[in-house]
């Protein structure tokens, strides 16, 4: 028994400094569950909301991992983006309750996408309740969040009431997508809508 105690204590003496050294580095490419729980609590996500998806992705132009979270309830969907900083995670952006155009969606619709220049962006899409019929019977919406520019962009599509079958309705983009320097985000929104509608959005 004395030998066992001695070996155990010796093992602790060796392991403790090693663990302390690893924790002291505070590796920004990873995070603990405790840090994630604390960040979610501060992200503005109501306790009644269930979390449907958590996606972690690297930063291509800054230190620290990024995390996208999709939460929802009967009242609607919410998206939050967290960024890894020293000591934990920071709630960088949160959507609040998304418009009814996103009402019908799922965890599969929260994605991390690459733009042509390598930037990683958060994408989420959905359609209005009872209006997911496609080009000639649907109301769809797409959001993009750019961790690099810290901007969120929206695109909305509405079918053309009274127009012939298979005809294109109307689409509008958030105002910031027309600002100088944001052309690539508008182009990415257009591509996302085109994938959803199976139609080249003009």
**86 inside domain:** yes
Region 85-96 average pLDDT: 90
**141 inside domain:** yes
* CA gap 59, 52 in Å, rounded: 23
Region 129-150 average pLDDT: 93
Global confidence as pTM: 0.82
Give the count of domains, the chain.
Answer: 1
Q: 176 vs 100, 152, 184, 186, CA distance in Å?
A: 21, 9, 12, 9
**202 inside domain:** no
* Residue among 122, 100, 105 nearest 113 (CA): 122
**8 inside domain:** no
More confident residue, 3 or 182: 182
What are φ and ψ of residue 94, in 5° steps? Answer: -140, 140
**67 inside domain:** yes
Rg value, the chain, Cα: 22
Sorted by sequence, the CB contacts under 8 Å of residue 196 that are 6+ apart come out as 125, 140, 142, 157
Q: How many other CB atoms are found less than 10 A from the CB of residue 23?
A: 10
What's the pLDDT tens digit per position in 15-67?
334 333 444 567 888 888 898 888 888 777 777 789 999 999 887 666 788 99
**14 inside domain:** no
Can you give the pLDDT at residue 95?
Answer: 94
* Residue among 59, 149, 68 nearest 107 (CA): 68
Containing structural domain, residue 143 = 28-197
pLDDT over 60 (residue 102): yes
pLDDT over 60 (residue 5): no
Q: 159 vs 85, 110, 153, 185, 201, CA distance in Å?
A: 43, 23, 21, 23, 12
Can you give the pLDDT at residue 140?
Answer: 97
**5 inside domain:** no
What's the pLDDT tens digit per position in 144-194?
999 999 999 999 999 988 788 778 999 999 999 999 999 999 999 999 999
């Amino acid at each position: 028994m004395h030998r066992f105690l001695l070996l155990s204590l010796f093992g602790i003496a060796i392991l403790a400094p090693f663990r302390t050294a690893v924790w002291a580095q505070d590796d920004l490419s990873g995070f603990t569950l405790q840090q994630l729980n604390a960040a979610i609590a501060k992200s503005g996500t109501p306790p009644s909301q269930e979390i449907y998806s958590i996606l972690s992705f690297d930063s291509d132009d800054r230190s620290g991992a990024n995390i996208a979270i999709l939460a929802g309830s009967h009242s609607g969907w919410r998206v939050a983006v967290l960024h890894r900083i020293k000591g934990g995670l920071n709630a960088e952006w949160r959507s609040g309750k998304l418009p009814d155009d996103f009402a019908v969606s799922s965890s599969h619709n929260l994605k991390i996408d690459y733009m042509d220049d390598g930037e990683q962006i958060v994408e989420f899409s959905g359609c209005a309740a009872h209006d997911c019929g496609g080009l000639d019977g649907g109301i769809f919406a797409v959001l993009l969040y750019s961790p690099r520019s810290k901007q969120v962009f929206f695109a909305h599509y509405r079918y053309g009431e009274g127009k012939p079958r298979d005809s294109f309705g109307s689409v509008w983009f958030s105002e910031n997508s027309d600002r100088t320097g944001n052309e690539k985000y508008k182009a990415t929104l257009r591509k996302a809508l085109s994938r959803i509608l199976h139609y080249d959005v003009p």
